[in-house]
Amino acid sequence: MENTPSALWYQGWYRFARRLDSPNFGPRPVDTNIELVVIHSISLPPANCEQDYGGGYIQQLFTNTLDWHAHPYFETIKDQKVSSHFLIERTGALWQFVSTYDRAWHAGQSQYCNKAGITKNNCNDFSIGIELEGVPGETFTDAQYESLASLNAALSHIYLGLEWTGHEHIAPGRKDDPGSGFDWTRLRREIG
């Protein structure tokens, strides 16, 4: 982690992301190394409803300010207290809700086997969560991939050897995002 302010980061906050603090986070365990980035997808309302991208509902969910009566689906998620570190909208706009120093509540019950073959539980402890606005199984925009590549470059300045995975891979059977519409080959190519 960075010890002094830089052109890109200050205390785990990325200078080129729009900051909106979420209360849905906690401290990471002592001496935790950040080694994983978890890609998610989210749409509010969800896929079986009419899409309303860019409506601000995701930001409201992550900051516990969502009007539960604004859509019938919202009543079903009323008690959820969740947030990722970052959100990339369909336009490529980048938001940050939690410092990378802290543990955002994005992965839930999860398990990851890293390149060294070590399996770890509770991925929130050692990961950074990035939500892409979209529906599992549908494609994402060029602007989102561009923002994701730029964010990866910035993260790589302070966290060496990051591995990337999808929420569906660390919580199989429970989660299906970002889904088949996410282009992992493109991501690997763009992040080197």
- Catalytic positions are 131
Helix (H) or strand (E) holding 57: helix 57-62
SS3 175: strand
Complete DSSP assignment for 146-170: HHHHHHHHHHHHHSTT-EEEEHHHH
Give every CB contact of residue 83 below 8 A, 6+ residues apart in sequence.
22, 24, 25, 62, 63, 97, 98, 104, 105, 106, 129
CA 103 – CA 11 distance, rounded (Å) = 14
Tokens 């950074």 belong to residue: 128
Please give the DSSP secondary-structure letter assigned to residue 28: P
Do the beta carbons of residue 41 and residue 166 sit within 8 Å?
Answer: no
